[in-house]
Structure 1
Amino acid sequence: MSEHAQAQPRDDHVVLGKLTSPYGVKGWLKVYSYTSPMDGILEYDDWVLRLGGRLVCHPLVQGRRQGKGLVAQLKGVDSREAAETLAGAEILLPKARLPELSGNDYYWYQLEGLTVTTREGVVLGRIDHLFETGANDVMVVKGNADTTVDDRERLLPFLPDDVILSVDLDAGVMTVDWDPEF
């Protein structure tokens, strides 16, 4: 997976990160990015912010790495007080603005919610979310005893051609090579 994005708040947006707190006195904000690489979020200039259930457009004026993190200046935010009102906002992007991926690359939001079945047809559960480790991405698959083999939560490595045999986004199914007892 070359780009990451967290679960979408609406069907037409994906969450790229969040604004955490003001930085300085001129309206800059600290940014926590969900993209990989971290500063990939700065490639998008038409940020939509979700705060308190409402969506507000705040185009990115400029952004940069600052220490181990990122900071950004948004249009119309020119004081620390204005920045404080945006602290905690999620940074959204319309899905249509995401770059096309090729081959077996997927955005995380595309995988979340897929039904995971073994090659033998045993339903393990649905992908709840994914997370990064040093070696590979990991899928959290949650079972439901009413519709799956059991109600266990499983951690499956995202390893195409090894664990992941096929992904059918249209059907909402991922087929894996995985022992249900593991």
Structure 2
Amino acid sequence: MLINNINIPVQPLLIGKFGKSYGILGWITIFSFTEEKEKIFDYFPWFFFKKKWTKVQVKNWKKYKNHFIVYIKGISNRSDARELTNLNIVISKHTLPKLKKNEYYWNDIINYKVVNTYQHYLGKVIDLIRTKNNDILIVSNTLAISKKNIFIPFIEKKIIKEINSNYKLITVQWNSITPYK
């Protein structure tokens, strides 16, 4: 493989994954984890980690079915492209656009504490899920009687009352589960 590297990502952020090779000329499929799939091409440079960080230079890309195929500088055949299969595509966090006040990226609210409007601690955010109707906040449950995660609809103002980035705290209109006596 002919990719040169002297850089590493600063605050690595996962934005996609390499899939299988495509054709014999070194093209490879990728899967975008960005909200708008094509936005993955707005964030460069890309990096991957395989024993060491390697910087990737995308020379060309095309939409192909439900994903994309890319041609990477230094990858000129199917065998070289195959070496990237299943590797994560990472960027430096600072390449993301600057946010306005009261805006945040999903990855920023992972590990935020969640309390309800009665100030009962519900747990920490472990993930978010995008669904057709609304996003879902997944909170690790802290109750001793039930270790199941809490799924809270991410509906701002109605259920998600406040996201405080200074205290890494989310306040929700949500009743915690009360144990039966």
**Counterparts of 1:70-85 in structure 2 under 5 Å?**
70-85=68-83
Instruction: Give the C-alpha shift of residue 44 in structure 1.
Output: 2.2
Residue matched to 1:40:
39
Residues 115-144 of structure 1: CA distance to partner in whole angstroms, max 9, x if unpaired? 100111101111111111001111111123
CA contact (8 A) 2:10 2:94 kept: no
1:168 aligned residue (150, 164, 171): 164
Instruction: Give the C-alpha shift of residue 19 in structure 1.
Output: 0.2
Instruction: Give the C-alpha shift of residue 178 in structure 1.
Output: 0.6
Instruction: Give the C-alpha shift of residue 11 in structure 1.
Output: 7.5
TM-score, length of structure 2 as denominator length: 0.86
2:153 aligned residue (150, 157, 168): 157
- Please say if 1:177 is aligned against 2:173: yes
Give percent identity, aligned residues only.
Answer: 23
TM-score, length of structure 1 as denominator length: 0.86
Residues 37-91 of structure 1: CA distance to partner in whole angstroms, max 9, x if unpaired? 111101223111123x532111221212111211111121111111011111101
**Counterparts of 1:21-170 in structure 2 under 5 Å?**
21-51=20-50, 54-145=52-143, 151-170=147-166
Structure 2: unaligned runs, 5 residues or longer = 1-8
After TM superposition, which residue ranges in structure 1, 4 or more long, deviate above 2 angstroms? 101-106, 149-152
Instruction: Give the C-alpha shift of residue 23 in structure 1.
Output: 0.9
- The size of the alignment, in residue pairs, is 170
CA contact (8 A) 1:124 1:150 kept: no
Q: Aligned equivalents of 1:60 and 1:45: distance in 2?
A: 9
Equivalent residue letter for 1:151: K
Structure 1: unaligned runs, 5 residues or longer = 1-9
